[in-house]
Structure 1
Amino acid sequence: MKKNTANKASYKEQRKLEAQKQQRTTRRLIWITVIFIVAIIAAVIIFQPKAAPVEIAYDTMPSLGAANAPVKIVELGDYKCPSCQYFSQQLEPQIKKDYIDKGLASFHFMNFTIIGPDSNTAALAGQSVFHQNNDAYWKFYDALYKNQGDEKVQWATPQFLVDLAKKENLPIDYDKLMLDITSKKYQNEVDAHNAFARKNQVNSTPTLFINGKKFDNSMDYNSIKAAIDKAVKGE
């Protein structure tokens, strides 16, 4: 009887040891699998091809700075967008001071009309002013954002936009501006801007493209500066 009890105890101990061994083997296999998967993910991240810069017709848009500047920055914006107002008043002047005025970058504007119907009206006005006088456009750009109304209210009417141009004493033909807005003369250009935004997965304004590469953190100047600095170095 004692012998049978001893055999049973030995058998249980053996099964316990085998189970522990199997657990250790299973844990090793799990860790090996995890390490293998992590290595594959890391390799994909490291060696995946970088997205090529998108082609942008810079000479068809309002521009600040030297045409041959090594860095080209495009803002996709909506004149009714409060964040775009902040960008135009707080961040764009810093970009101008640090890069545009030094010949390191040029700055361009493209419409992305996402707020309301009069976003499109304001865009038509901007395009009209640009086609009449590129320098006057930038005064209009500043004035539009400084006089921006509530985004939930349709304030960017043709009359408001023409009156604003007159108030700023822009050197343009005001009758032509009114006609261009009401006839939607440059609607094809605004539509092309919106199509560009959709094609390149732009989901908010303002969004920047720096040398053709989309940059989403457009509300933080330190991040913008770091991205422009990389572009200046050709990275």
Structure 2
Amino acid sequence: MKPKKKQANSVARRKEQQAAQEKRMKRIMWITGASIVVLVLLFVFIRPQGEKTAEDSKDMFNYSTLPVLGNPEAPVKLVEFGDFKCPTCRAFSQSISPEIQKDYIDTGKVAMYFMNFLVISPDGDSNTAALAAQSVFHQNKDEYWKFNKALYDNQQDEATVWATPEFLVDLARKENIKVDYDLLSKDIKDKTYQNEVNEHDTVANKLNVMSTPSLFINGNKVSDQDILNYDSIKSTIDKALAAQNK
């Protein structure tokens, strides 16, 4: 009888082991299935960073709150992210912006907007210059672009701290920018418009902007390699205009 009992016990253990194995397999299959469902949901509902469409980008620009050069009702909206201490931004301001203005802004085809993106001295005088520009914008919108140009034209070496409150107020006086200079000085020192500068930075980061100047034309980012290539920018603007006319 003992051999039979041992055999019975062995069969019982095998059945227990088989049942446990089946239970483990069911658990693994359930976990695997749940993981697949989660991955599918992530794929469907979450677009990977960096794959924003032009429509996504356009929705991130609150155009009515930004400095604008030209007719806000123009069919093409061009947004420049810039840093007043950035040498390439200065080159863009002096060589590319005038061409865009002559060919497209003055003819009512393009409205150009500006947003601050601090890359040279985010915690220093890049920020101070942006605060000054925002103060001018809020005091006298018609004077903003004159001050914007003056900042770039009087830009100094990026390694030096030059955009101090005193320098910025003196520059506004020298260029006859029609604002209250005492208020300008106060706005800079009190960081009155710091939240706006920070908001510009936040939008830039959400759009994966990595450098200045960066351009968006109707929500489409211009290649950084073409930023000082007017023919390429012109071609992108023309395509945007053609799309609006369809």
Deviation, 1:184, is 0.4
| Residues in 1 aligned to 2:172 and 2:88: alpha-carbon distance in whole angstroms | 22
What residue identity is the alignment partner of 1:151?
E
1:128 to 113, 132, 135: 135
Note the residue ranges of structure 2 that are not aligned, 5 or more in a row. 1-50
| Residues in 2 aligned to 1:134 and 1:179: alpha-carbon distance in whole angstroms | 18
What residue identity is the alignment partner of 1:57?
N
What residue identity is the alignment partner of 1:64?
L
Question: Secondary structure at 1:166's aligned position in 2?
Answer: helix
CA offset digits 1:48-97 (Å, max 9, x no partner)? x9824211111111111111100000100000000000000000000000
| Residues in 2 aligned to 1:85 and 1:113: alpha-carbon distance in whole angstroms | 14
What residue identity is the alignment partner of 2:204?
A
* Counterpart position of 1:152: 159
Residue 114 in structure 1 maps to residue 116 in structure 2:
no
What residue identity is the alignment partner of 2:144?
Y
Q: Which runs of structure 2 are paired with 1:152-171 in the superposition (5 Å)?
A: 152-171=159-178
Residue 209 in structure 1 maps to residue 212 in structure 2:
no
1:84 to 58, 71, 89: 89
CA offset digits 1:15-69 (Å, max 9, x no partner)? xxxxxxxxxxxxxxxxxxxxxxxxxxxxxxxxxx982421111111111111110
* Counterpart position of 1:73: 78
Please, what TM-score do these two structures have when normalized by structure 2?
0.74
Residue 225 in structure 1 maps to residue 227 in structure 2:
no
Distance change >3 Å, CA 92–CA 159, structure 1 → 2: same
| Residues in 2 aligned to 1:163 and 1:234: alpha-carbon distance in whole angstroms | 45
Deviation, 1:194, is 0.5
What residue identity is the alignment partner of 2:146?
K
* Counterpart position of 1:46: none
Contact conserved, 2:81 with 2:215, CA < 8 A, in 1?
yes
| Residues in 2 aligned to 1:229 and 1:120: alpha-carbon distance in whole angstroms | 34
Question: Secondary structure at 2:243's aligned position in 1?
Answer: coil
What residue identity is the alignment partner of 2:232?
S
Deviation, 1:219, is 1.4
What residue identity is the alignment partner of 2:191?
K
* Counterpart position of 1:98: 103
| Residues in 2 aligned to 1:213 and 1:59: alpha-carbon distance in whole angstroms | 19
* Counterpart position of 2:198: 191
Greater shift after overlay, 128-137 or 52-61? 52-61
Question: Secondary structure at 1:124's aligned position in 2?
Answer: helix
Deviation, 1:214, is 1.5
Please, what TM-score do these two structures have when normalized by structure 1?
0.77
Contact conserved, 2:116 with 2:130, CA < 8 A, in 1?
yes
Question: Secondary structure at 1:233's aligned position in 2?
Answer: helix
| Residues in 1 aligned to 2:134 and 2:218: alpha-carbon distance in whole angstroms | 22
Deviation, 1:225, is 0.3
Distance change >3 Å, CA 80–CA 72, structure 1 → 2: same
| Residues in 1 aligned to 2:137 and 2:227: alpha-carbon distance in whole angstroms | 24
In the alignment of these two chains, the number of paired residues is 187
CA offset digits 1:137-192 (Å, max 9, x no partner)? 11101111110010000100000000000001111100110010000010000000
| Residues in 2 aligned to 1:73 and 1:172: alpha-carbon distance in whole angstroms | 26
